[in-house]
Amino acid sequence: MKIGILTSGGDCPGLNAVIRGFAKYVFNNIKDAELIGITEGYLGLIEKEARKMQPSDFSGILNVGGTILGTKRTPFKKMTEEDQNGRSRLDLMKKNYKALGLDVLVTLGGAGTHKTAALLSSEGLNVVGIPKTIDNDIWGTDVTFGFHSAVDIATECIDRIHTTAASHGRTMLIELMGNKVGWLTLYAGVAGGADIILIPEIPYNPDTVVKMVKRRLDSGKAFNIIAIAEGAMSKAEAKMKKTERLEYRGGRATGTEMLAKYIEENAEVETRVVVPGHLQRGGAPSPYDRFLSTEMGSFAGELVKRGNFGVTVAMRDNHVTYNKLSDIAGKTKSVPENDQRVAMARAIGIYFGDEA
Ligand code: F6P
| CA distances for 286 relative to 22, 30, 211, angstroms | 18, 29, 37
Residue 80 has pLDDT above 90, yes or no: no
**By CB neighbour count within 10 A (0-12 exposed, 13-18 middle, 19+ buried), where does 256 fall?**
buried
Q: What is the mean pLDDT of the chain?
A: 97
Which residues are annotated as catalytic? 135
Atom of ligand 1 minimally distant from the CA of 73: 15
Average pLDDT (85-104) is 96
161 in ligand 1 pocket by Cβ < 6 Å? no
- Judge contact between 7 and 69, C-beta under 8 A: yes
179 in ligand 1 pocket by Cβ < 6 Å? yes
Residue 175: predicted pLDDT: 98
177 in ligand 1 pocket by Cβ < 6 Å? yes
Residue 204: predicted pLDDT: 98
pLDDT in tens, 115-141: 999 999 999 999 999 999 999 999 999
- Judge contact between 331 and 139, C-beta under 8 A: yes
Atom of ligand 1 minimally distant from the CA of 135: 6
pLDDT in tens, 179-222: 999 999 999 999 999 999 999 999 999 999 999 999 999 999 99
Average pLDDT (313-332) is 98
Q: What are phi and psi of 238, to 5 degrees?
A: -65, -25
For ligand 1, atom 8, which residue shows the shortest CA distance? 179
pLDDT in tens, 224-252: 999 999 999 999 999 999 999 999 999 99
Atom of ligand 1 minimally distant from the CA of 111: 1
Measured distance CA(220)–CA(61) in Å, rounded:
49
Residue 84: predicted pLDDT: 87
Query: pLDDT > 70: what percent of the chain?
Result: 100
pLDDT confidence of 167, banded at 50, 70, 90? very high
Element (H, E) at 292: helix 287-306
Residue 127: predicted pLDDT: 98
Query: pLDDT > 90: what percent of the chain?
Result: 97
178 in ligand 1 pocket by Cβ < 6 Å? yes
10 in ligand 1 pocket by Cβ < 6 Å? yes
Tell me, in angstroms, the distance from the centre of ligand 1 to residue 167's CA.
32
**What is the value of pTM for the model shown?**
0.97
Tell me, in angstroms, the distance from the centre of ligand 1 to residue 179's CA.
6
Choose among 174, 201, 200: nearest CA to 188.
Answer: 174
For the chain, the straight-line distance linking the first and the last C-alpha, in angstroms and rounded, comes to 61
